[in-house]
A and B are shown apart, each in its own frame.
Chain A
Amino acid sequence: MSHEYDSIAALRDALTARKVSATELATGALQAAQAHASLNAFLHIDPELTLAQARAADAQLAAGQAGALAGVPIAHKDVFVTQGWRTTAASKMLENYTSPFDATVVSRLAQAGAVSIGKLNCDEFAMGSGNENSAFGPACNPWNVSHVPGGSSGGSAAAVAAGIVPATTGTDTGGSVRQPAALCGVSGIKPTYGTVSRFGMIAFGSSLDQAGPVARHAKDLLELLDTMSGFDERDSTSLEFCDGVANAPGRIRSEFNDAVARFDANGAKPLQGLRIGVPTEFFNEGLSADVGAAVEAALQQYEALGATRVSISLPRTKLSIPAYYVIAPAEASSNLSRYDGVRYGYRTPSYTDLADMTSRSRAEGFGQEVIRRIMVGTYVLCHGYYDAYYLQAQRVRRMIANDFQQAFAGQCDVIMGPVTPTVAKRIGDNRDDPTADWLADIYTLGVSLAGLPAASIPCGFGGADASLPVGLQIIGNYFREGQVLAVADRFQQATDWHQRKPELK
């Protein structure tokens, strides 16, 4: 089984030395997925498709022509379209949808030899923070199955935490990679907007959506992210250059290696000279004491590694909630207008005419949260409200982005703070209050609105008997994914939070 190996690098060594085969790893991961089926982390598994990929990876390895990830078991969030495996976005609307093509993220990882174990549960159309909005039932947190794994990439985080696969893909619109990674005690990163292609990634909020990986180690995140990222002409937001450097595999790895070399040269205080900005607004009255204590301990660990702590202000942190919950629903209402019951997706069995067919298909095919957001989005885009809500939210968005730029301009190199105000809630909590979960997105939304890269790494435990994981958020300036991951990696060399594993029955 894959989790006998500590990292993707260790897996690669074992595969290259032919100590283990891709087929053995894939079979082990498929068995682990089945053994932990009660987590509901996977939505679609097809052993034949998986084993065909594994055999191809074994052939590459035997021929000495293996890609960087040849034989490494992974799994994809079910918002990436895949040929073969069904793609549902965890929605009844797409229950029977099979894509005629692969998403760019999927094909890039497949070309590198990664073997897909299947498709992962998530919130419907990636809208949610607990994976409870899946049409196929909630996924569970491996640390305590009566708690949520976070969302929307809940299955992505749960599958890694449970040791089923060493890495998964996710998507992050307002925190959907970082928040589940934090709540499941694993690592995740959302890269800079425009660095990873969104071709074949089912759209939610187009000015916000980015793909990102989940894994145990920051170094494993690097393995996936460096392979996933790169210019793609089929995504109009895909960047050709990042600050003058070609947006291509190797860019992030190169920056990571440079940072590691600098840290190594510093000797006993590897992070000497690194200024960590700590926003006072991230430690407000809403932060629970257990999460605050774990994050504070992590900051002290960073100081012990030589970094300097600088107090900074992101004064519009609270405004990121209303700004995001205008912009994201507005874009969702536009993106989801494509589901009309005509070209693909669910069609109601009974209707009178074309308009009735579309309206009923959408009412029956979409879940409550998706309908709620489409309604909010449609409202704020209405004639008469557009300026007051949508344009005003976009102005506030720029002020939020400028606040980050001011901090990075002279005060700090990275920004750190909590990912979530609390540890994972129980499944079913807040069911009667649709906006309660929205408020808990406060520490992740600003980064998404600004398009910045940010990671979450495990930094402790909280909740009853200190049994649920806490995440530390590390925010970098534009295109500094390599630096963020190197800073995360240095913490993980000094701590073992990321290696803690839940006891699963």
Chain B
Amino acid sequence: MAITQDDVTRVARLARIALSESDSQTMQTELNGILGLIEELQAVDTAGIEPMAHPLSAHQDIALRLRDDQPLPTQSAGQRDALMTNAPAQTEGLFLVPTVIE
């Protein structure tokens, strides 16, 4: 099942990546090549095999630790400022984005 230009457009939109028309053509060729590579998986009989999300589950019972679902407040204004210095646009502790609602 080959990937079409429509598929590329849809996936690029889902991935939030703006592809030019020529990039999109190249991507279609590349994705079809990659699909050919991973297609091999389909032929494997995996009946009765549990999907493996955590590699150590081959060795022991494993569950990810959870912490209490409580916010960790920024301890000081200075720390908040330090966290925000990497923002492309910010003011008064807020991240700035283009107008969303007119």
Contact = CB atoms under 8 A, between A and B. Distances in A.
A505 B36 CA distance: 44
Query: What interface size band does chain A fall in?
Result: 35 or more
A238 B62 CA distance: 11
A435 B37 contact: yes
Contacts of B77: none
* B7, B12, B17, most chain A CB atoms within 10 A: B17
A419 B54 CA distance: 24
Contacts of B44: 319, 392, 395-396, 399
Interface in A201-217: 207-208
Nearest to B44: A396
B99 to A, nearest CB: 8
Nearest to A363: B18
B87 A343 contact: yes
Contact of A342 (B15, B46, B56, B97): B97
A272 interface: no
B40 A343 contact: no
Given A378-B15, A434-B30, A395 B51 contact: yes
Given A333-B15, A391-B51, A405-B58, A357 B38 contact: no
A105 to B, nearest CB: 19
B56 A207 contact: no
A435 B33 contact: yes
Contacts of A10: none
B38 A451 contact: no
A392 B3 CA distance: 19
A388 B42 contact: yes
Interface stretch (A108-116, A273-281, A288-296, A369-377): A369-377
A371 B42 CA distance: 25
Interface string B15-59: 111110001000100110110011111101010011111111111
Interface string B64-76: 1111000000000
B86 interface: yes
B38 A98 contact: no
Interface in A320-360: 321-323, 325-326, 333, 337, 340-347, 351-360
Contact of A236 (B8, B31, B64, B98): B64
Contact of A359 (B17, B30, B46): B17
Nearest to A325: B38
A438 interface: yes
A371 B79 CA distance: 33
> 6 tightest CB-CB pairs across the interface, nearest first?
A451-B55, A394-B51, A347-B88, A344-B86, A401-B58, A398-B52
Interface of B: 3, 7-8, 11-19, 23, 27, 30-31, 33-34, 37-42, 44, 46, 49-59, 64-67, 79, 82-83, 85-89, 95, 97-100
20 contacts: A96-B86, A98-B86, A318-B40, A342-B95, A344-B87, A359-B17, A362-B17, A372-B34, A375-B8, A378-B15, A379-B11, A382-B11, A391-B51, A392-B44, A395-B51, A398-B51, A399-B44, A399-B46, A404-B58, A478-B56
Interface of A: 96-98, 100, 192-194, 207-208, 233, 236-239, 318-319, 321-323, 325-326, 333, 337, 340-347, 351-360, 362-363, 366, 371-372, 374-376, 378-380, 382, 388-389, 391-399, 401-402, 404-405, 434-435, 438, 449-451, 478
